[in-house]
Amino acid sequence: MAKLVGIFAASHGPIIARDWETMPRDHRARLTAAFDEIGRRLRACEPDLLVVVSPDHWVNFFINNLPAICIGIGDEHDGPPEPFMKKVYPHAVLKGHAAFGRHLLQTALDNDFDPTLSHRLTLDHGTCIPLWRSGVDPELPLVPILVNDLEAPMPSIRRCFAWGRLVRRAIDSYPEPLRVAVLGTGGLSHSIGETTMGWIDESFDHACIDAFARGEERQLDAFLTEQLDRTGNGAHEIRDWVIAHAAAGSTGFELIDYFPSPATLVGAGFASWQAPAS
C-alpha cells in the first residue's frame, strides 16, 4: 500500500520569481532559508510522487467554466506559462502520475465527491514557485489538485477538511507501495488587486498559525469561515493548507517560518506536519 511520508505548506507570489534578484537581501535570505528547509525535509522523506494543492491563477479556467476542485490525472502537465516563471523555472513539461491521479479521482467519486478532471493541466507560479525555490526534483511526478481560491463562491473550509481526509484515504488505499508527499501552496494573508492591496494582516496570520498548531478542526473551521472574508483576498489560498492539514490527520503541525514580506506582498508562511507513523 502507498504511504503518506510528508506534508508541507508554503507561500507563493509572483514577485518572488519576478523580482528575486532585486528584492531586499534580508527578505531573500529569509525566503531562501524557509524554502530550503521545505526542500530538505521533502527530499528526506524520499517521495515517489507529490500531490500539490494550489490555486489556479486564471491559467486553466475562466468564469465560463470554473471548477471548485480539479484533479490532474495526466502523465504530463505543462510548466508555468508566465514569462517571469519561464526564466527561473524553464520546465515546459512536468511529469504527472496518471495511475495515482486516477485512483484519487475514483476514490473521490466513490465517496460522493464530484471533482472535475484534467489530463493535462498548466501549472502556474502557484504550483511552481515552491517547487523551484525548494529545489524539488523537476522529475518528481506530480498529481496537481487545483482549488478555486480566487473567485467566490469558493469551496467551504469544511469541504476542504473533507478533501484533505479524502486525499489521505486515497493514499492509504493505493495498492502500490508508493511514498506520497503533499504540498499545499499559497497564503497566508495578502491582498491583490483590491482596495487594500499590499495589506498583510499579521494578526490574522498569527491566529491562523495558532489554530493550525492546536489542530482542532472545528475551531480552525470556525475561525477561517468567519475571518476569511475580513482579510485580504489572497488568504483564501489557506484552503490549500487546510487540505494538507486534514491529509495529515489534523495533527503534527510545525511552523517552519512566518514573516510579513511587504516586498513580495504576502504574509510568508512555511510549515510541515508530522507524517503518520508506519
Q: Which residues bind other proteins (CB under 8 A)?
A: 57-59, 62-64, 81, 150-151, 192-198, 233
Nearest-approach distance from CB 198 to other proteins, in angstroms: 5
- Compute the distance between CA of residue 215 and CA of residue 221 in angstroms, rounded to an integer: 10
Nearest-approach distance from CB 258 to other proteins, in angstroms: 23
Nearest-approach distance from CB 165 to other proteins, in angstroms: 29
Q: How far is CA 54 from CA 23, 147, 167, 216, in A?
A: 24, 6, 14, 23
Any idea how long the chain is? 278
Nearest-approach distance from CB 249 to other proteins, in angstroms: 32
**Phi and psi, residue 15, nearest 5°:** -65, -30
* Residue 223: its H or E element: helix 217-227
- Compute the distance between CA of residue 141 and CA of residue 174 in angstroms, rounded to an integer: 16
Nearer to other proteins, 175 or 193 (CB): 193
C-alpha cell at 85: 516563471
Q: What does the DSSP assignment read for 40-77?
A: HHHHHT--SEEEEEEE--SSS-BTTB--SEEEE-SSEE
Q: Where are the beta strands (DSSP E) in 168-278?
A: 179-185, 253-261, 266-273
* Residue 108: its H or E element: helix 98-110
Helix axes of 238-247 and 202-214: crossing angle, nearest 10 degrees: 10
Nearer to other proteins, 107 or 264 (CB): 264
3-class SS of residue 181 = strand
Nearer to other proteins, 24 or 176 (CB): 24
Q: Give 154-158 contacts, CB < 8 A, sequence gap 24+.
A: 154/68, 154/236, 154/239, 155/68, 155/69, 155/239, 156/225, 157/220, 157/221, 157/224, 157/225, 157/228, 157/239, 157/242, 158/221, 158/225
Nearest-approach distance from CB 265 to other proteins, in angstroms: 9
- Compute the distance between CA of residue 166 and CA of residue 152 in angstroms, rounded to an integer: 23
Nearest-approach distance from CB 209 to other proteins, in angstroms: 24
Nearest-approach distance from CB 196 to other proteins, in angstroms: 7
Nearer to other proteins, 192 or 255 (CB): 192
Nearest-approach distance from CB 192 to other proteins, in angstroms: 6
Nearer to other proteins, 27 or 95 (CB): 27
